Amino acid sequence: MQERIRNFSIIAHVDHGKSTLADRILQKTRAVSERQMREQFLDSLDLERERGITIKAAAVRLGYQAKDGEEYILNLIDTPGHVDFHYEVSRALAAVEGVLLVVDATQGVEAQTVANFFLALEHDHVIIPVINKIDLPSARPEEVALEIEETFDIPAEECIFASGKTGEGVDEVLEAVVRRIPPPQGDPDAPLKALIFDSIFDAYQGVVPYVRVFEGTVKPGDVIRIWSTGKTFEVDRTGVFRPGALERTEKLGPGEVGWLTAGIREIGDAQVGDTVTLDANPTDAPYPGFKPAKPVVFAGLYPVDTQEYNKLRDALEKLKLNDAALDFEPETSEALGFGFRVGFLGLLHAEIVQERLEREFDLNLIATAPSVIYKVTLKSGEEIEVHNPSDLPDPTLIEEIREPYVRLSVYTPEDYVGPIMQLLQEKRGQMVTMNYLGKRVELVYEVPFGEILYDFHDRLKSLSRGYASMDYEQIGYKPGDLVKVNILVNGEPVDALAFIAHRDKAQTIGRAIVEKLKDVIPRQQFAVPIQAAIGGKIIARSTVRALRKDVLAKCYGGDITRKKKLLEKQKEGKRRMKAIGKVEVPQEAFLAVLSAGKEEA
Ligand SMILES: Nc1nc2c(ncn2[C@@H]2O[C@H](COP(=O)(O)OP(=O)(O)OP(=O)(O)O)[C@@H](O)[C@H]2O)c(=O)[nH]1
């Protein structure tokens, strides 16, 4: 049977049509009847469908009758395309022997096409390029095929032209999967070696690890051992993925992709990348390179209503069951009260978590601006990590501050190289290389991670009319001339608004923030000064003038529904206010630093 298994993934730059192609493949293999077929089958969380991005790798097992007359088992493992979830892509790829590299025929090769290609190459996978969306009038498949040849050294003839929308070329794709991708290797009698490439949490079964078996066999009743923790569990069930269902099997053998349950209660006991083996007959070669996912971006999350603190904690605990990368600890802010410092894999991850908290748990939250982790050496010789700018010790105690750097690659049509280089310079980037790939250019820079955190991606997109794309990886810490800037509202420093910036940029950013705050803080009965300060030195200042804003002033005439709408809008705005001294400060204020970068340009 192993001979007729094919395990593969689809990799692509965001929006190049990975999920649509997967749907079409499911349909072709008739694994799902038309009626059952939901759009974008593999994205199982509602949120994912709504935002149109794939977050969690999922898997499905399909039956396929090939042109050679044989029946094949195809295991399709879905991968997330966004850079925040790189580690999950990498582990999903470890579970397969080949990949479909989907490239949009109207866009060509982009940053994550390249990053994903190299991940697949590292795993020695067979790579089948699929040029997608050929139904679009602006498609230029031949040109893109040449671009692929030039960039990846894959002959242009190997590219398959397809459309996930119309279904054209999908038969060819399936035949290529069967013919070009090799069957999995592995000995059913060897000691068990299975890789956890994903997991879900089920209220009854606990953590359900998704595994790819490389060697040996696992079946109900076996006692398994999780490699990194050494913990043991008795297997209750094993099974495979049918579209929309987890189907039970007697066992899982080498080359198979499936799931198991074993009464595992903690997500930390079955983390993506870890190896499962048998306690009685363990493998001596676990899957290499396991590292637990580590958050790199931190933000404060506070309930608007202080009564909701416990509800927020319960919600975070529930989310963590399904998300090993989510990290949180209690935090108090003078301005915002009791809340949590929450760690994320990146900005997108942060946005998704906040959205889920508000939607699925009906919480009303104030989020503070996200921050990276700074490493600080004190004059006393002590080393500390700062996850929250307001925790940065007094400058007189500090010997050195180091900030995290990323290696950033940007892909862009050559027309936009000038403005993008200017942007990178403004972000304190240092060029590593610049490569020409036909009419496209790859720029590689080392940039402080904190600089690209807020608005970099938006600005890159707008500078290049949407054509440039980016990818990055963490490369470690470097010292920087960094200072903490405090923001004072009505003379009081607001801890939740403090930020850390390079000394040369502190004043510009400080000025942009106080200007922004002036606009978002509603007028009070009295004038409210807003200041930015480094230590005792005021570097920028603005004033919210007295007098309440009359939202109805704009509506003369008797349009009562419009008046109502405005009043409701004002109420909505009020829901997310925090009183700071005598001043009501709305949610937007706490994110002012996010938009401050734009004005700085
Ligand atoms: N015209 C046309 N549109 C397509 C085709 N394939 C996908 N699309 C559209 O392109 C957009 C992105 O498609 P998705 O399948 O969601 O892309 P994806 O790569 O899975 O995106 P992520 O999950 O965010 O990585 C959607 O609006 C699709 O309807 C195609 O073959 N032709």
CATH architecture assigned to 297-368: 2-Layer Sandwich (3.30)
CATH number corresponding to 374-480: 3.30.70.240
Q: How many CB atoms lie within 10 A of CB 524?
A: 16
Residue 78 annotated as binding? Answer: no
Residues of the chain with CATH 3.30.70.240: 374-480
Cβ 164 under 6 angstroms from ligand 1:
yes
User: Which pLDDT score is estimated for 568?
Assistant: 61
User: Which pLDDT score is estimated for 57?
Assistant: 45
CATH class of 484-597: alpha beta
Cβ 169 under 6 angstroms from ligand 1:
no
User: Which pLDDT score is estimated for 36?
Assistant: 46
User: Which pLDDT score is estimated for 159?
Assistant: 97
Question: What's the pLDDT tens digit per position in 467-499?
Answer: 788 888 889 999 999 999 999 988 888 888 899
Residues of the chain with CATH 2.40.30.10: 193-278
For residue 386, the SS3 value is strand
Render the burial of 484-496: b for 16+ CB within 10 Å, e for the rest.
bbbbbbbeebbbb
Cβ 54 under 6 angstroms from ligand 1:
yes
- Angle, CA 174 vertex, CA 172 and CA 180 arms, to 5°: 90
User: Which pLDDT score is estimated for 599?
Assistant: 43
Its pTM stands at: 0.73
Residue 135 annotated as binding? Answer: yes
Residue 15 annotated as binding? Answer: yes
Question: What's the pLDDT tens digit per position in 86-134?
Answer: 777 788 899 999 999 999 999 999 888 888 898 898 889 999 999 999 9
User: What's the CA-to-centroid distance between 8 and ligand 1, angstroms?
Assistant: 19
Residues of the chain with CATH 3.40.50.300: 2-180
Cβ 136 under 6 angstroms from ligand 1:
yes
State how far Cα 219 lies from the chain centre: 34
Cβ 20 under 6 angstroms from ligand 1:
yes
Does the domain made of 2-180 have the CATH classification 1.10.287.3510? no
User: Which pLDDT score is estimated for 494?
Assistant: 87
Question: What's the pLDDT tens digit per position in 425-457?
Answer: 999 999 999 998 777 899 999 999 999 887 788
User: What's the CA-to-centroid distance between 146 and ligand 1, angstroms?
Assistant: 22
Question: What's the pLDDT tens digit per position in 198-232?
Answer: 888 777 788 889 999 999 999 999 999 999 999 99
Residues of the chain with CATH 3.30.70.2570: 484-597
Does the domain made of 193-278 have the CATH classification 2.40.50.140? no
On the CB side of 44, CA atoms within 13 Å amount to 14
Distance, CA of 21 to CA of 167 (rounded, Å):
8
User: Which of 15, 88, 133, 469 most suits a substitution to test ligand 1, by most atoms within 8 Å of the C-beta?
Assistant: 15
Per the prediction, the chain carries an average pLDDT of: 85
User: Which pLDDT score is estimated for 581?
Assistant: 67
User: Which pLDDT score is estimated for 269?
Assistant: 86
Cβ 22 under 6 angstroms from ligand 1:
no
Please give, one letter per residue, the 3-state secondary structure of 201-238: EECCCEEEEEEEEEECCECCCCEEEECCCCCEEECCEE
Residue segments in the chain with a per-residue pLDDT below the cut of 50:
32-37, 39-41, 43-49, 52-55, 57, 555, 573-574, 598-601
**100: CB partners within 8 A, 6+ apart:** 8, 9, 10, 11, 21, 128, 129, 130, 173, 177
User: Which protein residue has the closest C-alpha to ligand 1 atom 28?
Assistant: 17
